[in-house]
A and B are shown apart, each in its own frame.
Chain A
């Protein structure tokens, strides 16, 4: 809300300049957005120009429609500076005068309220006018607040709206068929061309101001073109009413039409302001020589306004704020803001009558805020809430994710964070046949689908880094993946370029499948869950370079080489090998063995190590060889691992030489050569029989 400093001074004799006022109001709930020099020009008659006049722009919060007016902000200033507030009235002199109008049931027109819930009060007054430009001082004030001057009659309606926050409208009296104003719901499909020259089709949920035959305005939103005040208009009816916020808001939204009036009504205009606005408009009409009001007004009231009364106790004020506020200070603040506080005998509790312009005040807490903000939050002591019990445990996912994060960082992966929404094409490869979760109103197609896999964002991050000249990329992200069956926490990672040895001493090697498999194994260890691998080859991975990750009996992830088609589609150079992995952390921890890890005592007897090289068919999997050995060996075999695989000179085609290291140990004795020898004989026999393996 923009206000003009000189206009504020109509209502409060504040000495401070615009900047200081802005600073002080910012600490009382009206945040100053900016100050601009006021446009030069005339002042109202009898007022001297002010040096350094300025336009102050305040950010008015949605609960304070009263501050969408010059008087509303002047009232706050008066409360801050402990100054009296001067309002337009019939007694006031000069340009601050309001007319004294006589309320009548029927004037040269009639008013009927047919939708009392949407419009319980409607004030109309007729006047004879000579349409022309408004005076310079009025035009200057409107312009300063961002409203374009149109004509003296229309400018008056806008002036009252800005000054008092009371939206007004002026109809051409002669265009109101039957001299009637009917406030009613729109008829189904009823048409109206609004002031902005747009043809609108109305719905029965909308309120219209109609004459005897048809709609003339959308209530509280915008007037109709046909009944607008024109250069040749001589008779007008001013409208000053109160329209229900929800209805105006819904209508404004449905029509895509916002106006200065609708913005005030939808937040809640002053329920007692209609007659005041009318009195002010009629006085201004005569003051600027635009015409003569008839002197009467039709004040149609469907429901009498009952002011809200909210109880307040001094204990509540101090108890909620946690600071002391003297009783006299409570009363001063409430009074300055227009509340009427009636104290009980002990003066520790009040019945507080709420003024019509404060629809936001409904509960004692609302009053506590009024007292607190005007006493000043700067007086709040910094105390500490008492603790009576130990906090319950935090979400276990936090520590779990932290363990996975530490694991990835230690392996050289940097942490990424991506948007959870991605474009449909990026999501499709990961959908696994499930319908995507799409947004109804995405910002753009780039952000249209909730990611079914965190890999999507990681792949785009790799692409970004590759396109910015980065050859070696390791990135991971721990975030939520979305599916219709629910959210899951996922760890996704990508690795391209060097796997190690990128050093002047040589030995550079590019990442391969076993690097990314090793990462999965490391994360399994970090989470305390042994992870196994199975043959799973989703379309987004290259067949023959992919594996499923299994915990317990459940598939919890994948790893492997990203499909070059997909990589290419996301802008990654074709020649790049990008290895990726994704693990469902929630699924992994669900299979975690219960209980804490226990330390195994160190062995008391020495181990015996035997290496063996076997020639086997190169189609035979490592797992098959290991399983055969494990089954044949006694329980003293405590470790078995491949340490070399060789094909080439000396090895027949179709064969591979596999070297394994077997470690034997018993818990209760030192193994003898004979025992180990017998074990090795059994192992070799089994591999020969079952696998056709030859010892080299």
Chain B
């Protein structure tokens, strides 16, 4: 016969052993822990060979009066063991992942998405700004005649801007364009202007690549009466060698507003609105008197340096200002060329380089990058 005291001491030993085994399982590496706990569970709670069952086997050896007390002690130990193991099992279950779990750190299967060209982005931004301001957006022919590109813009034969080194000419003249401004202009035809002094000689053969989008001004005004409020955007061509800031083809945005009482101050307000939309609220603009044959007065327009906000930095050559466009009041000779009466209407015009804006906006140091179409460059711009 065993005595209760002996068995109570035995239970104590078992309890001690379980605490140690549990501590060892807890200390095992995370990967070994589930197996250690499984082994512990089998060793202690197994129905035949488990240690609890092993203790219970001593029950018949006790006097019946002690059996109840012993049973309670073993049960207490069993509760401790079971709850400790259940607690750990629950913790493990909470971190255990299904067998088909994915590794979320692997790269996703990205759908192919194209990137916009930065010049296309600026062009669209400018179009959006002026559409919002109530302008019509137009495109025009890139191969032009001398009349629309130069003569009607008050650049007679002898003007320095017509030097061969500036303009790219065709080897063979092309027949004059048949249509008007664009193939699908849903515009009423221009009223008859007999009596006005037009210099138009009728359609001229096309001989050159337009050097500025200003040629569009003439084509439009020839066919439409004032008021006019348009922007024309597209490629233009000059005989400039490639360097950091020049390419023989670049993009221009031309603006033209004609009506009664249009002033230079209106131009300033308009360009201020554009500058704020392009470069951020509070961007200051500055007008500097200049010269263009087709405007009078003429002004170059600067915006406060977008890097240093006017304090002076290498980008603005420490002046605090960045030149972005040329502008002015439409020269009366231009109005006369298209049959507008300069005593009736005035107008303003401006021409801005799209590349210049893109270079400033994104800190592009070399204009040639826009024409290499290197995907490492293009992919830096939004989709």
Contacts and interface: CB of A to CB of B under 8 A. Distances in A.
B117 A441 contact: no
B383 interface: yes
Contact of B373 (A323, A365, A394, A475): A475
Contacts of A397: 139, 182-184
Given A245-B158, A377-B287, A417-B120, A394 B171 contact: no
B189 to A, nearest CB: 13
Interface string B101-114: 00000110101111
A58 B159 CA distance: 21
Given A319-B261, A365-B297, A391-B134, A419 B171 contact: no
Contact of B264 (A246, A322, A366): A322
A586 interface: yes
Interface stretch (B35-43, B56-64, B267-275): B267-275
Interface string B216-247: 00000000100101100001010111000001
B375 interface: yes
Contact of B183 (A368, A380, A383, A586): A586
Contacts of A410: 113-114
Given A322-B264, A397-B139, A439-B171, A31 B288 contact: yes
B53 interface: no
Given A61-B290, A369-B297, A398-B139, A414 B115 contact: yes
A435 B170 CA distance: 13
A388 interface: yes
B378 A415 contact: yes
Contacts of A63: 291
Interface string B28-62: 00000000000000000000000000000000000
A553 interface: no
A104 interface: no
Given A322-B263, A414-B114, A440 B289 contact: no
A470 B374 CA distance: 9
Contacts of B111: 412
Interface residues of B, number: 98
B169 A440 contact: yes
B180 to A, nearest CB: 11
Given A320-B264, A369-B297, A447 B113 contact: no
Interface string A604-618: 000000000000000
B268 A470 contact: no
A323 B187 contact: no
Given A373-B297, A409-B383, A465-B373, A320 B346 contact: yes
A510 to B, nearest CB: 14
A438 B289 contact: no
A411 interface: yes
B248 A384 contact: no
Contacts of B186: 392-393
A632 to B, nearest CB: 40
Given A319-B263, A383-B268, A384-B269, A419 B249 contact: yes
Interface in A39-92: 61-64
A396 B138 CA distance: 9
A77 to B, nearest CB: 15
B337 to A, nearest CB: 14
B5 interface: no
Nearest to A402: B124
Interface string A382-420: 111111111111111110001001001111111111111
B211 interface: no
B352 interface: no
A415 B376 CA distance: 12
A579 B139 CA distance: 30
Interface string B269-308: 1101100000000000111111100001111100000000
A437 B329 CA distance: 36
A322 B266 contact: yes
A496 B128 CA distance: 34
Interface stretch (A21-29, A154-162, A187-195, A211-219): A21-29
B259 interface: yes
A369 B270 contact: no
Given A385-B270, A439-B170, A409 B114 contact: yes
Interface residues of A, number: 95
A443 interface: yes
Contacts of B375: 414, 465, 470, 473, 475
A442 interface: yes
A601 interface: no
Interface stretch (A199-207, A476-484, A623-631, A645-653): A476-484
Contacts of B141: 487
Given A439-B171, A468-B376, A387 B158 contact: no
A550 B209 CA distance: 31
Interface string A100-118: 0000000000000000000
A377 B289 contact: yes
A387 B133 CA distance: 9
A385 B266 contact: yes
B374 A61 contact: no
Q: Which 4 A-B pairs have the closest CB atoms?
A: A412-B112, A322-B263, A322-B265, A369-B297
7 contacts: A322-B265, A384-B266, A414-B116, A415-B114, A437-B172, A461-B373, A480-B235
Given A319-B263, A443-B240, 14 more contacts: A368-B296, A369-B297, A377-B264, A378-B287, A387-B134, A391-B134, A410-B114, A414-B114, A416-B373, A419-B371, A441-B164, A443-B248, A465-B374, A505-B109
Interface of B: 106-107, 109, 111-117, 119-120, 124, 127, 131, 134-139, 141-143, 158-161, 163-164, 168-172, 174-175, 177, 181-187, 209, 224, 227, 229-230, 235, 237, 239-241, 247-249, 257, 259, 261-266, 268-270, 272-273, 285-291, 296-300, 329, 331-332, 346, 348, 370-376, 378-379, 383
Interface of A: 26-29, 31, 61-64, 245-246, 249-250, 253, 266, 319-323, 363, 365-366, 368-369, 372-373, 377-378, 380-398, 402, 405, 408-421, 435, 437-443, 447, 450, 457, 461, 464-465, 468, 470, 473-476, 479-480, 482, 484, 486-487, 500, 503-505, 586
